Amino acid sequence: MSRGVIRGWFLVHKWSSLVSTVFLLMLCVTGLPLIFHDEIDALAERGGRTVSATPSSGVSPALQSLDAILARALAAKPGDVPLFMAFSNDDATTTVTTGARPDVPAEAMTLHLFDRVTGQPIGATPAEGEGVMAFLLRLHTDMLMGLPGMFFLGAMGALFVVALASGAVLYAPFMRKLDFGTLRTRRSRRVAWLDHHNLLGIVALAWMAVVGLTGIVNAFVTPITKMWQAGELAEMTQAYAGRAALPPARYGSLDRAMAAARRAVPGMNSQFIAFPGGAFSSRHHYAIFFQGATPLTERLLTTALVDAKTGQLTDQRPMPWYFRALMLSRPLHFGDYGGLPMKLLWALLDVFTIVVLGSGVYLWLGRRRAPTDVLVREIARGARPFAGVAAMPAE
């Protein structure tokens, strides 16, 4: 590799790293507790209360009817309309989300938790509370700035991927005189930090690339959802175009709608129901979303649309490829595929990334006055294991 090519990659790595590092450190720090969001949320929401262990998917004599649970939720919040009903595959928890109207923002929604076996409520809270986890999720997702913040963090994720690619390119010439994993701890502090930076960076490279790419996909959740609404959902509800919205007082039986959907989509678990008027349904349908029964297929959703008035199935089809990509990227971003062991691995690699980013800033601060040509020459000739001080301050 010529010095001119190395110089180009060096500058790309330097500036892509410098521009994005502060925001990436914030994402890594806030992402660490979010990796364990299921476990933390379970402790916070259940508060030691016992929930039946029977899976809540399906309608059976042992479970309370969906209509009965919905009626209890609406009675607890007079004047509200139903927005979502979600099911847990781990226990018998059913969550009903209500709001003053179908298009209320998330912060104006209320969550009602029920035990599906007993039908008893186990809590009611705002959908987006002021708790620590809710704050960390918003900070991690959009820096409390909404859609502009999501797009900005998506751009930072793109710079992160560029920094990873350019760093990997520079790693090869720089390390050609050293064995993999060499840590020159008897040299200066800067050399020791440089070797740790390079080693942790190359070890966690694949993971950081996956997390960066899935983060970019997640940043576009709003346009992806709107694309689905304007395309697939509009096509599925074309026969209802131009009709007035169905008022909540005329909604039919949820149990009958679920039964019709299950006949069309056998062998899958119900994940949630979107009520008419919301972002995930039309103004006339219960949109019932089903998921597979394995850790992978449970992220691949199939939508069944049921006329909310008559209880008749009108269409059913898998989500389009771009929505499946979004659904698959979310759990991969937080390590939700393999249970607690995978989450622990994700947390360890997150810490590695924090060290890589922090050491990159430290190395840059120590060598920011060095001429670019000198730094490029050091990379081109490779790190020296014994005499002299080699550096790759491309951060």
Q: DSSP states of 239-303 as a string?
A: GGTTPPPPPGGG---HHHHHHHHHHHSTT-EEEEEEPTTSTTS-SSEEEEEEE-SSTTGGGS-EE
Residue 107, CA distances (Å) to 127, 133, 147, 340 in order: 6, 15, 15, 30
Same domain, 318 and 178: no
Q: 373 lies in a domain? A: yes
Q: 118 in helix, strand or coil? A: coil
Residue 225, classed as helix, strand or coil, is helix
Are residues 124 and 141 both part of a single domain?
no
Q: Answer whether residue 391 is part of any domain.
A: no
Q: State phi, psi for 270 to the nearest 5 degrees.
A: -75, 130
The reported pLDDT for the residue numbered 368 is 63
- CA dihedral 131→137→140→146, nearest 10 degrees, is -100
Residue 393 to residue 386: CA distance in whole angstroms: 19
Query: Does residue 244 sit in the same domain as residue 310?
Result: yes
Same domain, 268 and 309: yes
Q: Which structure tokens are listed for 135?
A: 């704050």
Q: In this structure, are 81 and 197 located in the same domain?
A: no
Task: Return the pLDDT at 50.
Answer: 55
Do 127 and 246 belong to one domain?
yes
Per-residue confidence in pLDDT tens, the chain, 395 aa: 788 888 899 899 989 999 999 999 999 999 999 999 878 876 765 554 555 554 444 444 467 899 999 999 999 999 999 999 999 877 788 999 999 999 888 888 999 999 888 888 887 666 655 578 888 988 999 998 989 999 999 999 999 999 999 999 988 888 888 888 778 777 778 888 888 888 899 999 999 999 999 999 999 999 999 999 999 999 999 999 889 999 999 999 999 999 999 999 998 999 999 999 988 999 999 999 999 877 667 888 999 999 999 999 999 999 999 999 998 898 889 888 778 889 999 999 999 999 999 998 888 887 766 677 777 877 777 776 654 433 333 33
Q: Is residue 341 part of a domain?
A: no
Distance (Å, rounded) from C-alpha 349 to C-alpha 193? 18
Question: Quick check: 216 and 161 in contact, CB under 8 A?
Answer: yes
Strand partners, 81: 99
pLDDT of residue 393: 38
In a domain, 214, yes or no: no
pLDDT of res. 191: 80
Q: Which of 357, 353, 356, 364 is nearest to 395 (CA)?
A: 364
Q: What is the pLDDT of residue 392?
A: 39
Same domain, 25 and 161: yes
Distances (CA, A) of 320 to 281, 327, 336: 15, 11, 22
In a domain, 277, yes or no: yes
Q: Do residues 28 and 146 both lie within one domain?
A: yes
Q: Is residue 225 a part of any domain in this protein? A: yes
H/E element holding 150?
helix 147-174
Q: Number of folded domains in the chain? A: 2
For residue 318, the cross-strand partners are 302
Measured distance CA(315)–CA(285) in Å, rounded: 10
Residue 41 lies in a domain: no
Whether residue 146 sits in one domain with residue 25 = yes
User: How high is the pLDDT of residue 15?
Assistant: 92
- Domain of 289? 48-132+220-334
**CB-based contacts of 203: which residues, under 8 Å, 6+ apart?**
352
